[in-house]
Structure formats: structure tokens, C-alpha cells
Structure 1
Amino acid sequence: MDDGNQRTWPPSYFRFDGGLYTPTGLARSPWDRAAVAGGPISGLLATCAEDPLLERDFVIARYSVDILGKVPHQPLLVEKETLRDGRQTKLHRICLLADGRLVAQAHVLRTRKLQTPDFPAAHDYPPPENVADSEGGNRPSMAGGIRYRTVLGDVGLPGRAISWIDVRGEMVSGVQASPFVKAALIADFGGGFGNVTRPGEWSYANLDVTLQLLRMPVGEWLLLDAVTHMAGIGNATAECTFADRDGVYARGFQTIFVAPGSQSTNLPRHAGDRK
């Protein structure tokens, strides 16, 4: 089995062989070496969701992923089904299975293409060429396959974070990742980038990923603007804005399970405990 120091270029998260997707060492979860991380899960399901024939007349308007438990670091099977096959909208379900057990799923909502009024979302993000490369830190690196140019905040610093991200690696070995697949990967980064607490004090587990797409992303550099909100009852919501050189292309959300971390001095209490 691969370790996390993959030396081939470009690096990849999965290899496809014999009808199965085998995760490389780079796909391991930082919290559990026997599990696959959320970003690669989202990216793999997005890879399998792409359909060039459908996308001539339809556009992906919503992409959502539910992680249904630990995704084991072993060969995985992907199955697809059509839930709605209308003339105006189509809904597909992409299932990820380990030994026949459903461990994650994506729902892909497509709408027909039609020329309509254009009202782009306003933003004031600097272009990537005006931001210096970010070195070091605790960001997902993909063995050098991901570059960052930080605009505001950073992983490990409580509060809102904004960063340009260039994913140069492959989701599946030998297959060039599209901007949509790269967007699905970094959509899982919202909880880590926009964490409002210190990682050692509170741990964050991402339970899902949702992308509401205005259009498909374009180009190499994609921007993530993330902030997390909590109400003190054990969960959090990461709220994200995604942009490219042409402007905002999507909004996104993640549901996050919050628990005391290794350095926490607080004990979890039930919401009804007012002592």
C-alpha cells in the first residue's frame, strides 16, 4: 500500500483498476490512517458524476455529498443511478461502496441550459497573480500537488480564511481533473480553513459537502472563502464562497460535528445541562 509520500508526478488520490478505485496513501484521513479523507471522497464522486454527453445540454446546479460513516482505505466500488430523468431537470445518485456497504453518496442535480439574464455575485477578491505563494502550514498538500496563495487567515488560525488554491495533482491516476472536480475537492476544505476555534482545543469532523453552482468553474486557480458558525450545541456550519478569475461561481456549506480536541479543558455537556 502507498504511503503518503507518493513520488510519482503528478500525484493522485486514487488508481482505477479492475472496476475498483484504490486510494493511494495521499487519500488517507489525517485523523485515521485506515480511512479516506473527505476531500478525496468528494473529488472521486465528482469525477464519476461527470458526463460529457449530458453536459452539452445540461449544467450541474447542485452537487451534494453525504459521508455515511468511515470510508475505509481499501478498493472502492462506484455505482450510479438516475432518480429523475426530466426534460428540464435531471437528478443522479453516485454511490461509493466498500465490500458492498454504502459509505458515501453524491446527488447531482442538473438543469437544462438556456440563455437567461446574467446577475453575477459581487466580490472584491484580488487576482491570484497579486498574492504571494504560501509556504508551510497545515494545509492539505497532496505531496506538492496543491499550491496556495493566502489572502486572509489560514488553516489553524481561528476565523474567516480566504485562499487561492491550485490543484495540480490528479484525482484518479492518468485522468486530468476538471475544474469542477477540483472545486469538489476543495469544497471539503471549508471547515478546516474557516474554523473559529483552535484545532487542538476542538476537533471538526465534516459530515457532508454541498455546492450550489451558478456556473462551472474555469481555470487553474480557484478561490475558497470560508467562515464557520457555531451555536454551542455540538455542531457547526461552514459557509463558503467559491470564485475563479471570472468571479463567484458557487456557494457552499458543510455540516460539522464538533468535539473536544486533545488540548481541550472543556468537557462536553448535554444541551439541556445548565449547571
Structure 2
Amino acid sequence: MTTRAKPQGQPAPRTGSASLFTEADGVWLPSPTAAGPWGADRLHGGAVAALMGHHAQRALGAGRALTRLSTDFLGPLPALPLQVRTHTLRAGRSFGLVDVRVSADGTEIARSSALGVRAAELPLPGLPGEPAPPPRASGLPSYEPGGGAPSFNRDAVRVTVVDDPANPHGGTAWARLETGLTGSDAAPPWAAAVALADLTYGIGAALPPDRYRCVNVDLTVHLLRPPVGEWIALRARTRTGPCGRGIAEALLLDDSGAFGRCVQTLLISEE
């Protein structure tokens, strides 16, 4: 996620669509704000993952909240009308499992496995807590992605980078999804969390961007509980291996504390 400094003050005006996708005749049409950083002809992985989560939750039903969404991107995601198919593998009282496939122009481009678990009132013993959420206060450095054409990074999200000494090997930022997902209404917080989770490597980047290119080929999001509010913090970190692979992971937090984690597999190459 390439950024440039932006003065403090009111949020910059947005020029993108009111939603990332709209439905027409059984297909999902991406708006310009669903485009990724590679160009207007490719979609952002976070936008596509959130659309798949939307269909998965609809198939799981209200009694089984989305608990895990594991998405594989099968290649570049073209900015074309998308067909989405769901298949329920299990619909039990305790948990459900749904398979989601997305195709463009007859070619499958992404697939997800979604797990939904029932909610239960169950008192549990206290466990060591995660670090408190980072502050989100006036005066923190605020960044606005640059660029000309509408895109997800430029128009669909607002990111405030946090100086967090507790995480010296990565980065921390608060982020907010500023468009709807499939309509003009704000996306549910859990769907926003899925979309924003794909920013993990950009927030926790550890390799010099002028030498290395890192592309995530998947995204897995685990939700311990539904997040609350518009803003989501990502405390991100990147780990690299000796064979051109890496892992970017983030703890997901809202104002009440940690609610989930996400992981990306990175394909690393030299520029």
C-alpha cells in the first residue's frame, strides 16, 4: 500500500462509487473503487474476498455467524462482471461450512471456504489478554494513498498510520471502509474487516519496496467475535523464508480490543 502524507483535518472528498459492487441480472458488477493497485483492469483482493464473505454469510444464515473465511486468488482478478456460486457443505446446528466460487468470463478466479459457528452464552475462565488497541486520536499521522484513477486504496478506504513501538517488525494502522459493499448502506463491520484485512502486507511491509515485489495469493480471516464500529486496527507483521515466500499476519482490533486475526501468503520476487 503506497501512501503519501496528508495534512490533518477533515477527510478528503471521495469521488468513487457508493458501493464496491452492484448486482444486475444475476452477475456482480465491480465499481471503479474496487480496482486494485495494479491498474483499473484488476480488482483488489479485499473487495473480492468481502463479496465472497457476503455470499457465504447469506448461505450460512443468521444463526451461524461467519467465523473463518479462507480465500485463494487463482490469478489476477479481472475487472469484469462476476458470477458467484455457493455450495453448502454442512448446515448443522453447531456450525456450517460453505464453498464459494467466483468466475469472470467463464474462468474461475477465486474460491473461498467459509465456516460459520453458532453463538452460545458460555462463561469461560479469563485468559491473558492481547495488547490494548492503539490510540486513535487527533494529531496522529494520517496518510492518503496517491494516484489518479479511482481505486480501492485511494477511494474506498481511509487509513491512519499509528506509531506503535510495541511492534518493531511491522506496522499498525486504523482503517475504515468508506463505501458500501453491495449497496449504498455501510458494509457490516465484519465484511469491512474482511475487505480491510487484505491491507495487511501494505501496513506491515518489511522489505524495501524498490527492490522487492510482494503479492499475496490468499487471505484467511478468523473472527473471534463480530467487530463493532467503523474503524478497525491492524497490528501487522511480515515474516520471510529462504525460498521467495513470506507470511503477512495481523491482529485485528476495534475500540473494545482484539476480535480476530488474518494471514496472507506472500509470493516474493525482485523488481
The equivalent position to 1:134 in structure 2, one of 133, 136, 142, is 142
Residues 40-99 of structure 1, C-alpha deviations (whole Å, 9 max, x = no match): 1112112222339822x3222211111111221110111111011222111011111112
- The 1:137/1:152 distance shift into structure 2, 3 A limit, reads farther
Contact 1:95 1:106 in 2 (8 A): yes
CA contact (8 A) 1:15 1:173 kept: yes
> What are structure 1's unaligned runs of at least 5 residues?
262-275
Counterpart selection for 1:15 from 15, 22, 35: 22
Residue pairs, 1:182-201, within 5 angstroms: 182-201=192-211
For 1:224-246, what per-residue CA distance to the aligned partner results, in whole angstroms no more than 9, with x for missing partners?
11110001211100111000011
Partner residue in 2 for 1:35: 42
- Provide the C-alpha distance between the structure 2 equivalents of 1:123 and 1:207, rounded to a whole number of angstroms: 29
1:157-168 mapped onto 2 (5 Å cutoff): 159-168=169-178
Q: TM-score, normalised by structure 1?
A: 0.82
What secondary structure does 1:15 align onto? strand
CA RMSD of aligned residues (A): 2.5
Greater alpha carbon shift after TM alignment, 45-54 vs 225-234: 45-54
CA distance in 2, matches of 1:211, 1:85: 21
TM-score between both structures, scaled by the size of structure 2: 0.83
Amino acid at match of 1:104: A
- Pairing 1:1-275 to 2, within 5 Å after superposition: 7=15, 10=18, 12-51=19-58, 54-55=61-62, 57-118=63-124, 119=126, 121-129=129-137, 132=140, 134-137=142-145, 142-152=153-163, 159-261=169-271
Native 8 Å contact 2:27 2:82 kept in 1? yes
Following superposition, the deviation at residue 160 of structure 1 comes to 0.7
Give % identity.
Answer: 28
| 1:141–1:147 Cα contact (<8 Å) kept | no
Partner-residue secondary structure (3-state), 2:142: coil
Relative to structure 1, the CA distance from residue 36 to residue 205 in structure 2 (aligned partners, 3 Å threshold; closer, same or farther) is: same
* Amino acid in the other structure paired with 1:79: R
1:245–1:226: structure 2 CA closer, same or farther, 3 Å change rule?
same
CA distance in 2, matches of 1:45, 1:137: 25
Deviations 1:213-266 (A, max 9, x none): 1101110111011110001211100111000011100011110100112xxxxx
The code of the aligned residue for 2:27 comes to L
In structure 2, list runs of 5 or more residues that go unmatched. Answer: 1-12
Shift of 1:20: 1.0
In structure 2, what is the Cα distance between the partners aligned to 1:63 and 1:176?
A: 20
Kept in 2, the 8 Å contact 1:128–1:221? The answer is: no
